[in-house]
Structure 1
């Protein structure tokens, strides 16, 4: 009897430990924290001492699996000229040019500046809220948890960018429709979009990174033909990266202009065909993959030239609808990094925070004054 009692006590104790462990995990992951963002390729902590850039990669599902889901009746948005279920063709919309910023990564004074100047907020949905197990399948419970914490008002119109830079994204880049890897990746992304639209019908959703960026030197053809028409038909807007890879003093402004025009033409062509607005991501730093100049701050004059090109460029009479002003976490705004801050690094982190606030306000003020007004 004593032995049996000990076993029961040990069992109860084990259950309590497991529950506490689960509670700690969710607290640590800050699932319910509306200010939380993940640290992945796109959403990285600014580290000015490192220029290494290592894309996070990791794999599938089929169209048959998609058809069996409870939200398989969510329809693809009609493209230009296509009729929807009511028999009316969807009108193309292009709002007034808008700058989008992640409000909660800035200090109150900058947030007030955003509001006063018509900046709109956007939210990143990164991989830990999509595929926390790394098995390349969406986790519906995790997705719904994210939506409940970040978008509690189901009726509100807000912006969400999916950032799933894992194996499925690279399969979409490197394979073609009909290939098992491409089809599996497409199906899982579509399943994610359908789930989001089912739970938050008014949420505007796009996929970061599609179309894929081409260099100024050669077009590798990642975005040829109608490759992404089916997938992007379920999104509300097109968004990709226009981060500058090389400073002007390395390759010359003319080559950066070629880079911007080439990628704008690709994205605007898709946007026109699918009747979607195109809103690229842009950053005031050189892309971290550059081994020599990675994370270097782009001078204001050069930034204005790039932004002027982005705003003014037209493809088939279509222009960009806005820009996503990128701002990754610094250690003091990243919940996972706060405990790692020491007295030695605190000054550097404060400088990074202040630098971001100053650059964002200074650059965008000049941009608004020179280009938009």
Structure 2
């Protein structure tokens, strides 16, 4: 999900077994209560028993399910395959009555078209109505007790000196946002450039805080909860540190900036923590740091890493 090149392959190779995280005996006959205090949600399923126990003991929700585009448009023809989408949703949420949080991950051409095309154009209408809105309506009809939204929307191309342009794009997409139950902007951290193009790690925190403040003001206008996506690794677009683990103090500082911007706003419901570490280790080990490539038991290492960074995330949300 961090980039097209990582996310597209991960959809088909890493996440075909989302249903294993939910047992058929788990029945929730109504939507989850998101609560007043922001909460940490896990949007990954490649962790082991030790990390899973840590999540449960610390009230970290594992009820987020991501429906990747490989299940929405398996033929890559920019058309929703209703049967494939329903099947993926059924695997992710086995019980028709259960609640949870569902995220539709669409990052192909329609995602870019919505931002660039003129409102009312044929391309724009096709992307919004025939792809995004069609997909979320199928999702809602299939599992009505689940909160649904789109990964990466609103867009994260916000800059203080062009806030008006960002607002105009959001206004253009208002029919789509009205369909979503929750907004899931992507706030993965870049090393050398993030959002406004400022350099170095300390500036990343300031930039994301400004963006969060702006997106929350937008959320108030449309009365939609906000749960940004974060990752404990540098964004793959970083020329120097792509997919390397972010230093824990930087990760903490970054999350604190997000939560500081959301403090006191009832629409800030928490953070979705995504990851695909096992996939990276199996298929792109060369992109990891030296110490990670040399791990003899990556599963144990991964669980330990998640617990360390999970503690930082929980502290940031306090």
TM-score of the superposed pair, with normalisation by structure 2: 0.77
Distance in 1 separating the partners of 2:250 and 2:257: 11
Q: CA deviation at 1:43?
A: 3.1
Determine if contact 1:42/1:163 at 8 Å carries over to the other structure.
no
d(CA) in 2 for partners of 1:319, 1:150: 26
Contact residue 272 and residue 318 of structure 1 kept, 8 A: no
Find the aligned partners of 1:217 and 1:252 in 2 and give their Cα distance: 18
Superimposed CA distance per residue, residues 91-128 of structure 1 (whole angstroms, 9 cap, x where no aligned partner): xx753211111453100111111111111121111111
Residue number in structure 2 paired with 1:64: none
The aligned counterpart of 2:75 is 133
For these two proteins, the number of residue pairs brought into alignment is 280
Deviation per residue, 1:169-209 (Å, 9 max, x gap):
01012123212211110002111111111111111111011
Give the deviation of 1:263 after TM superposition.
Answer: 2.2
Structure 2 counterpart of 1:228: 173
Shift in alpha-carbon separation, 1:230–1:144, aligned structure 2, 3 A: same
Equivalent position to 2:36, from 95, 112, 115: 95
For 1:144 and 1:333, the matched residues in 2 are separated by: 30
Q: Alignment RMSD, CA only?
A: 3.1
- What CA distance in whole angstroms lies between the structure 2 residues aligned with 1:354 and 1:314? 34
For 1:280 and 1:119, locate their aligned partners in 2 and report how far apart those are by CA, in whole Å. 15
Superposed, 1:60-71 pairs within 5 Å as none
**1-side partners of 2:8 and 2:136: how far apart?**
24
C-alpha contact (below 8 Å) 2:281/2:293 kept by paired residues: no
Deviates most, 296-305 or 311-320: 311-320
Name the counterpart of 2:147.
204
| 1:175 is the counterpart of 2:117 | yes
Q: Which has the higher helix share?
A: 2
> Cα–Cα, structure 1 residues 172 and 245, in superposed 2: closer, same or farther, change >3 Å?
same
Residue of structure 2 in register with 1:252 after alignment: 200
Aligned-pair CA distance for 1:237: 0.2
> Are 1:151 and 2:115 an aligned pair?
no
* Higher-Rg member (1/2): 1
| Conservation of the 8 A alpha-carbon contact between 1:154 and 1:200 | yes
- Structure 1: where are the runs of 5+ without partners? 1-36, 47-92, 338-345
**Residue 305 of structure 2 corresponds to which residue in structure 1?**
359
CA distances 1:275-294 after superposition (whole Å, capped 9, x unpaired) = 11100011111111011222
- For 2:106, the equivalent position in structure 1 comes to 164
Structure 1-normalised TM-score?
Answer: 0.67
Q: SS state of the match for residue 160, structure 1?
A: strand
Distance 1:97 1:42 in 2: 28
